[in-house]
Amino acid sequence: MLKTVRTKNLKTGMYVILSQSWHQHPFFKNSFIIRSEKQINKLIESGIAKVTIDTERGSAGDPDEEVKPYTNVDLPIPQKWEPEKLIPNELKEVIYDKKMAAPQKAQVVYDISIGIMNKLLENPTHENIGEFKVGVTDIVDLILKDNETSHHLLNITSHDYYTYTHSVNVGVLSVLLSKALFKNTKDHNMHELGAGFFLHDIGKVNIDPAMINKRGKFTEEEMAIMRQHPEEGFKILSERNQLSKECKIIVMQHHEREDGSGYPYHLRGDEIHLYGRICSISDVFDALTSERPYKVKLPPFEALKLMKKEMLHHFRKDIFDMFVLLFGRS
């Protein structure tokens, strides 16, 4: 049954249907289950006073709460996303919209990217990974060519720590760092690099979700299983015939460390490829600045200070210094 409720009365577990167009709210789709108070606050901050809930697909909430039946007058704008399609048409539309302000463009591209990555990790088929790589080329080109939008993307990459949000954050940060390091050189395939950065954690789809989402630190046994995800990522991309040179390096080396303390092969120094070094820095930074069940997230500046003071032996200093400069320009 469809009902209209006041946004302030929403509860976690409710299935929400938004009547606004896709670009008028901060979510990547128009219907979803409320899973956190943060989502409710986002709706309130967006000025959305009332929403529709589907009580057959989610919680009905407090039975004493004042609600009214959903009427045809309030029918939502049809969902613009094609459920069978991984990359929505809106991605290109937004990226090449010359009238959209850079802050809004960055937020919409980011939110769409989160939705794409979420769907890809749910079903990482050969076709979906291939389509994802096509979509990533537009995102990479945006970062390379549009400095203003890239600036705003840099400032919104911190997020809750889920595999799909983390993958997008690391993808954005790593492409930005690669842009600074390689400038206008044509010696690197930036599209495949971008794909590799966004897909760096794809191996986690073969790890038990209960372990990945554990609210607390891993035991030694659990950590040993988690450390298998680079090799699992290699297998996934290899089996689906999507393993480019760039993807192979990034997926396998993003947890290697300069001093040999990383995994899976304990590479050290120049044994680690430049692409792996780039992804490693972005990966650690995002882990430090994202919300985790067992730790408080750090502001970007504090994370950079911690990395310099306690972790610099994990990275190549000149690459880390360039990473720091990204934030100096913001």
Residue type, 8: K
Q: Give the separation between CA 175 and CA 265, rounded to whole angstroms.
A: 25
CA 111 to chain centre: 8
Report if residue 187 sits inside a domain: yes
Domain that holds residue 250: 89-328
Q: What is the 3-state secondary structure (H, E, C) of the chain?
A: CEEEEEHHHCCCCCEEECCCCHHHCCCCCCEEECCCHHHHHHHHHCCCCEEEEECCCCCCCCCCCCCEECCHHHCCCCCCCCCCCCCCHHHHHHHCCCCCCHHHHHHHHHHHHHHHHHHHHHCCCHHHHHHHHHHHHHHHHHHHHCHHHHHHHHCCCCCECCHHHHHHHHHHHHHHHHHHHHCCCCCCCHHHHHHHHHCCCHHHHHCCHHHHCCCCCCCHHHHHHHCCHHHHHHHHHHHCCCCCHHHHHHHHHCCCCCCCCCCCCCCCHHHCCHHHHHHHHHHHHHHHHCEECCECCCCHHHHHHHHHHHCHHHCCHHHHHHHHHHHHCC
- 208 and 268 in a single domain? The answer is yes
- 12 and 117 in a single domain? The answer is no
CATH number, position 191: 1.10.3210.10
- Residue 73 binned pLDDT confidence (cut-offs 50, 70, 90): very low
Contact (Cβ atoms closer than 8 angstroms) between residue 19 and residue 77: yes
Counting the structural domains of the chain, the total is 2
- 118 and 184 in a single domain? The answer is yes
Report if residue 200 sits inside a domain: yes
Report if residue 22 sits inside a domain: yes
Report if residue 82 sits inside a domain: no
Residue that the structure tokens 């032996």 belong to: 313
- 139 and 273 in a single domain? The answer is yes
pLDDT tens digits for range 248-289: 999 999 999 999 999 999 999 999 999 999 999 999 999 999
- 163 and 57 in a single domain? The answer is no
Residue that the structure tokens 């994202």 belong to: 290
> Could you tell me whether strands 15-17 and 50-54 are parallel, antiparallel, or unpaired per DSSP bridges?
antiparallel
What pLDDT score was predicted for residue 71? 40
Report if residue 178 sits inside a domain: yes
pLDDT tens digits for range 164-221: 999 999 999 999 999 999 987 889 999 999 999 999 999 999 998 888 878 778 899 9
- 233 and 144 in a single domain? The answer is yes
- 142 and 17 in a single domain? The answer is no
What pLDDT score was predicted for residue 183? 86
- 135 and 247 in a single domain? The answer is yes
What pLDDT score was predicted for residue 75? 37
Within a 10 A sphere around the Cβ of 68, how many other Cβ atoms? 10
Least confident of 94-108, 129-143, 205-219, 276-290: 205-219
- 34 and 94 in a single domain? The answer is no
Contact (Cβ atoms closer than 8 angstroms) between residue 232 and residue 121: no
- 64 and 119 in a single domain? The answer is no
Domain boundary among 74, 101, 126: 74
Domain boundary among 27, 49, 74: 74
Report if residue 153 sits inside a domain: yes
Report if residue 307 sits inside a domain: yes
Count of CA atoms in the C-beta half-sphere (13 A) of 255: 19
- 126 and 190 in a single domain? The answer is yes
- Residue 69 binned pLDDT confidence (cut-offs 50, 70, 90): very low
- 57 and 153 in a single domain? The answer is no
Report if residue 83 sits inside a domain: no
Domain boundary among 74, 99, 133: 74
Closest of 204, 193, 277 to residue 236, by C-alpha: 204
- Name the residue with higher pLDDT: 316 or 291: 316
**Could you tell me which residues are beta bridge partners of residue 291?**
160
- Name the residue with higher pLDDT: 106 or 47: 106
CA distances from 57 to 3, 32, 231 (A): 12, 9, 38
